[in-house]
Structure 1
């Protein structure tokens, strides 16, 4: 293996490691900013799962009732 090839490999691996570290740091900063932008308390109702009458009816049908 030539000296030029070894230098090229070393540069590639070094840059690969630096790129991974930079991506990890960027992801950490982005997630920190997203958490900071979320209000600590909101008067709005959550928009997630709600057990309504038709959902209860479906669950009952699964139990055989």
Structure 2
């Protein structure tokens, strides 16, 4: 009978661990203060001049 109790307690532990770990991660990930929204980028139909696009043009052989 002690083996059944031990197996049941392991199962209970794993059930609890599988439910509580994501809940703990979600509680930590929720920030206390709201972040400010960034200004919207101007969409004039052209590519934005950013470091990313400059790197693309440098690696592309035009």
TM-score (norm 1): 0.54
Deviation at 1:20, TM superposition (A): 2.0
Where does structure 1 lack aligned partners over 5 or more consecutive residues?
Answer: 43-49
Q: Which has the higher helix share?
A: 1
User: Which runs of 4 or more aligned residues in structure 1 lie more than 4 Å from their structure 2 counterparts after TM superposition?
Assistant: none
Aligned residue number for residue 5 of structure 2: 7
Aligned residue number for residue 33 of structure 2: 37
SS in 2 for 1:39: coil
Aligned residue number for residue 19 of structure 1: 17
Deviation at 1:5, TM superposition (A): 0.8
Where does structure 2 lack aligned partners over 5 or more consecutive residues?
Answer: 39-49
Aligned CA-pair RMSD = 2.7
